[in-house]
Structures are given as structure tokens and as C-alpha cells.
Amino acid sequence: MAPEAEGVVEMDPEYTAGLADVDGFSHLVLLYWLHRSEGFELRIQPYLDGRKRGVFSTRAPRRPNPIGLTVVRLLEVDGPRIRVSGVDMLDGTPLIDIKPFIPDLVPSGSVSCGWLDRVRKEDGKLPKKRADDRFEPGSR
């Protein structure tokens, strides 16, 4: 929900060769480990809604397997460093993998977003709201 938020993905230098040709893509999919998430709840209250929802219908970090996924805009590749925008992970979050975002591999046609469809504003977009701290370790 913060497309302007910039960050840097720092790779171990031994993997730099794997970044060859990445700079031709506009967007990347980042898979990461939600290292500060402790435990999980199967029903949580997402920050965009006032009702409890099933954890698998949200992007909440407190999950049975704390793997995060996000699509970011690629701004620059500089050796083992990748500058991106649209980040939604914490500083120091361990990266699991990087994949190119390829729109042709995304299902086309009508898409339903479940309970989020009822949260959308009149213009059809989700409200601009950053997550709160309810998913930080020790908070409930």
C-alpha cells in the first residue's frame, strides 16, 4: 500500500551472477521469510477491516509458515544490490528468492478479491493505509 516506499535488496555477493538480465524487467516478485513474526493465528483482524478473517484470506505476517511475497518495481541493479520501490517488508528481512514478474503468467479475466472488494473506495482502489503494529512480536 506504499508504492513510493523505496528499499534495497542486498544479495550475498556469491549470487550476483544470478542477477544477470534481471535489469530488463520492470517488476520483480520477492519471496522472503517473516523473521520477526512469532506464532500464528488462524483468524486475525487485518488492518484494512474490522472483522476477524481467516489468515489465508489475508497477507498478515503471523501465519503457520511465515513466508512473505511482494511485487516490487525494479529501479536499479548495482552488483549484488537491487534498488526497488513498493517494498512492504522490514529492514533486515531475509530474502528467500527473486523471480521476474511476468504479466502473461497471471490469470486474466475477472478477478474477485473476496472481503477486500467491500473495502474498496468508490474509485475501485483499496484505501491508502499502512499496516499498524498488531503483528509485531509480543503484540496482540
pTM for the model: 0.80
Q: What is the 3-state secondary structure (H, E, C) of 70-88?
A: EEEEEEEEECCEEEEECCC
Closest CA to 6 of 51, 73, 104: 73
pLDDT, position 114: 81
Average per-residue pLDDT for the chain: 86
Comparing 2-16, 47-61, 80-94, 119-133, the range with the smallest average pLDDT is 119-133
Task: Answer whether 34's CB lies under 8 Å from 94's CB.
Answer: no
What whole-number distance in Å separates Cα of residue 68 and Cα of residue 83?
A: 18
Domains and CATH numbers, the chain: 6-118 (2.40.30.70)
pLDDT tens for 21-37 read 999 999 999 999 999 98
